[in-house]
Structure 1
């Protein structure tokens, strides 16, 4: 599996969510085949940035180029290049499906071959029980299984949200090792985590946003005093 990974260049980008601006004035560069980890505590906009970089969340300002495709005008093309393995909430494997059912469904939807799925499982170094339910898998194996199903289609990049959520130290190490193996194909991996790994990783830190101070509403007595 040899893939031309996506390259990303962003200057001064900002995005807005239901509760206001989630990130602003952000500059970043991701090279093809990199493991890039968006790092920060919960609520700093990690998932929103993954969505924005993959053409799934419109920007309010700034310049964003993904392998020559400028967003938002070419968002559809970018969404084809970068596929989600896990995005929370909304894009995760169905817990009550069996492993074999998840494989069959992915093959039907994406048209990948059985051999491509096997190669992807080997790439991330897992061999899940085909009769097991998804929620019976160890959390690390479950996440890597989602990654394997996604890379079987050889996209230029993948998204992996909340890599370290609910994983013990050994499980985190297993997942990061699997994602590093994915980058050896040339594929770009865009991940998010609270605590990024050390080593050959491009860390994109997100600052903690200060909560907006509520506007004080003066009662009638305070209004009289203020006058």
Structure 2
């Protein structure tokens, strides 16, 4: 009786105080504080991109928080992350603990039981006979499958059904069954109500509530928390940062020292006034230059006329010289031809 009582799952209390995680792109979540007793159903609710999955992974010891503290079953985070991982298990978490679509249901269950015995089993487990170890593994599998509500006989090919042939709710049940094989004190499930109909969503929450009632604390990420669950709401990072941005703008306006902050209407009026002033100045300058050029042209008319006569006489002289040179060259050419 004592050994069986020790093997039964007992939930881990979850306490978060100012819990926050910061990544390369900023804060994933911040200032999360709540308390959940053993065997509680905690629904992490919020829009996509609001840090729901990061909070789930941080509370199970998979991601290291940057501020605040949390305790899982008396184990303090982030100092005891490895110990928290040993008492917690992940159900469906995209990119972290996904099902292999090529594996069958039986292959998934057998692999998880083997890994559980290999890495989490006690020394006494390895001293048992092979038949006893197989019987113990089969008992764990049957227990987890029953707790997850997965009916193997109702599947298209029974245990030989591939994961790719499972419905969304059936795949969720299989993921939870795999997590429950290790009899964790804390179960974490991501995207609980994703792509589920209203009826399937109700069945999924009924399943998680039954797991919590059996003694295992459940953390479930969802878009809308069900009634009766402890609701933890995460905010979108852009929405949370909006008030800070406005406050910073009021405290430190984007103006240089000594300059005057103006509205858009005043700036446009000032621009138009400057444009008109520049246009008027340009017109006055152009008129002044025109008047100066006219006076200069009138004063230089005689000089230009005198200068124009000189090139004309020079051109006439050059023309006469060219004609003379041409006649002399022609005569010389005839003379040379006659000599030849």
**TM-score normalized by the length of structure 1:** 0.89
Q: Where do 1:36-185 residues align within 5 Å? A: 36-111=42-117, 113-128=137-152, 129-185=158-214
Cα pair 1:8 1:65 within 8 Å, conserved? yes
- In structure 2, the residue matched to 1:209 is 237
Q: CA deviation at 1:85?
A: 1.1
- Cα distance in 2 between the residues matched to 1:122 and 1:25: 38
Q: CA deviation at 1:2?
A: 3.0
Q: CA deviation at 1:17?
A: 2.3
Cα pair 1:47 1:88 within 8 Å, conserved? no
RCO higher in structure (CA 8 A, sep ≥6) = 1
Q: Deviations over 1:105-156 (max 9, x none)?
A: 1111112611111122112222132111112111001111110111122111
- Cα distance in 1 between the residues matched to 2:59 and 2:182: 20
Cα pair 2:46 2:235 within 8 Å, conserved? yes
- Larger gyration radius, structure 1 or structure 2: 2
- Cα distance in 1 between the residues matched to 2:148 and 2:96: 23
Bigger strand share: 1
Query: Which 4+ runs in 1 deviate beyond 4 A?
Result: 211-214
Q: Deviations over 1:9-49 (max 9, x none)?
A: 11111101231101111111111101111000101110000
Q: Deviations over 1:64-122 (max 9, x none)?
A: 11121111111100011111112122211111101111111111111261111112211
Cα pair 1:69 1:77 within 8 Å, conserved? yes
- Cα distance in 2 between the residues matched to 1:11 and 1:78: 17
Cα pair 2:17 2:33 within 8 Å, conserved? yes
Aligned alpha-carbon RMSD (Å)? 1.9
With 152-161 and 82-91 compared, the bigger mean Cα shift is at 82-91
Q: Deviations over 1:186-217 (max 9, x none)?
A: 0011110001212x211111123326689xxx
With 65-74 and 31-40 compared, the bigger mean Cα shift is at 65-74
- Cα distance in 1 between the residues matched to 2:110 and 2:92: 18
The aligned length equals 216
Bigger helix share: 2
Out of 4, 8, 11, the position equivalent to 1:2 is: 8
Unmatched segments (≥5 aa) in structure 1: 215-222
Q: CA deviation at 1:56?
A: 1.2
The SS at the match of 1:32 is coil
- In structure 2, the residue matched to 1:220 is none
The SS at the match of 2:143 is helix
